[in-house]
């Protein structure tokens, strides 16, 4: 069985452009579909644990690397000297979590949204295209991961941070994705880890 899973992971990696990706399963998920057009209330808050903060973080990754821990629902921007900025994130739901090493291939402000076919199959009511803006599920910024369909992006659903709800992308509240966007250039290394893949 283990060999079969390894082969399946390698085939998936080739299918998404040769990137070294490995699928993993989440511990739990929240049943929330995307809500195109929804604009959150200005006073909508996240739990304190998921708010952006400087933390102790031991890592061999060089400063400027983004490290995603999907099982913990945290993203770290390595600062060096065992420090990092930690962001609370929403991650992929059951069957949409993965691990690997990619680079940010491009960045976009208030990106337009074209849901991939996998999302359309799961949520057939979704629009086939939506202009960028406050009600767009990609939020204020998007950082594209290699040649895959995956992104680090904002969200119009701040209550989903800390949950397993996406189709494989990593979502942050808009203030946090703007902060991250301004700190990292195209070409930044992104390491995605899941407990099952360590």
| Catalytic machinery residues | 153, 169
Q: Which two tokens stand for residue 151?
A: 């992104």
**Which of 175, 22, 148 lies closest to 88, judged by CA?**
175
Nearest to 63 by CA among 88, 83, 48: 83
Alpha-carbon span 28 to 77, nearest angstrom: 25
The vertex-28 CA angle with 159 and 1, nearest 5°, equals 145
Distance CA 24, CA 27 (A): 10
Beta strands 141-145 and 189-193 are unpaired
- Identify the CA nearest to 34 among candidates 125, 100, 149: 125
> How distant is the alpha carbon of residue 133 from its chain centre?
19
Residue 172 structure tokens: 């942050």
| Beta-carbon count within 10 A of 59 CB | 16
């Amino acid at each position: 069985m283990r060999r079969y899973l390894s082969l399946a992971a390698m085939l998936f990696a080739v299918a998404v452009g040769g990137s070294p990706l490995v699928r993993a399963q989440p511990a739990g998920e929240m049943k929330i579909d995307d809500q195109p057009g929804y604009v959150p209330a200005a006073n909508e808050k996240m739990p304190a644990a998921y708010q952006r903060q400087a933390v102790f973080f031991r890592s061999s990754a060089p400063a400027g690397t983004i490290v995603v821990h999907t099982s913990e629902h945290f993203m770290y921007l390595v600062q060096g000297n065992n420090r990092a900025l930690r962001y609370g994130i929403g991650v992929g739901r059951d069957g949409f979590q993965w691990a690997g090493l990619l680079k940010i291939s491009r960045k976009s402000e208030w990106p337009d949204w074209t849901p991939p076919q996998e999302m359309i199959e799961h949520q057939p009511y979704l629009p086939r295209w939506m202009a960028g803006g406050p009600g767009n599920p990609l939020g204020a910024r998007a950082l594209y991961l290699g040649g895959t369909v995956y992104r680090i992006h904002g969200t119009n659903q701040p209550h989903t941070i800390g949950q397993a709800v996406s189709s494989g992308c990593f979502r942050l509240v808009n203030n946090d994705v703007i902060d991250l966007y301004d700190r990292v250039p195209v070409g930044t290394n992104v390491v995605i880890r899941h407990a099952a893949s360590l």
